[in-house]
Amino acid sequence: MRVCLDTNSLLPLFGTRSPFADLRHQLLAGDWELAVSTEILLEYEEVVTRVSGRERWLQIALLLERLDALHGTIHRTDSTFRFNVIAGDPDDNKFVDCAIAARAEFVVTEDQHFSALATSGYAPRVVTLEGLRAELTRRRPKSE
């Protein structure tokens, strides 16, 4: 399963006391894939540095690099086309553009502006981190 994480979902996923540590562990185990673009990585860097400091961003960036080297589950996709799905906050379109170009199943966000994606005709669905957890649980083989 390939997903694109809005910055507001990245922060709790990688938080030191995250209620979503299980999702982070599944990402680290290669159970799901992350689609990112240069624009998204720059926003991640800006926000994580502002909120948690430069050292925390460097830890996350290194983790993503190592994760990609280990599992190949980080998909860098720089869309050359702008789909302009979100009118309410055009800056959020970078996540939609990446998700569409990377053929991601989900955009993970807590932002209501992304509801426009549901009626856009494009494939990625919008879920919260809780929704991602539910989807991963639903897809887990019964033997686990």
- Within-domain flag for 127: yes
- Within-domain flag for 30: yes
Q: What is the CATH number for 86?
A: 3.40.50.1010
Instruction: Read off the pLDDT of residues 2-50 as tens digits, 9 standing for 90 and up.
Output: 999 999 999 999 888 899 999 999 999 999 999 999 999 999 999 999 9
CA distances from 5 to 36, 42, 87, 129, 144 (A): 8, 13, 19, 9, 26
- Within-domain flag for 144: no
Q: Is the pTM of this model over 0.75?
A: yes
Q: Which residues span the domain enclosing 58?
A: 2-139
Residue owning tokens 């005709």: 121
Query: What is the tally of structural domains in the chain?
Result: 1
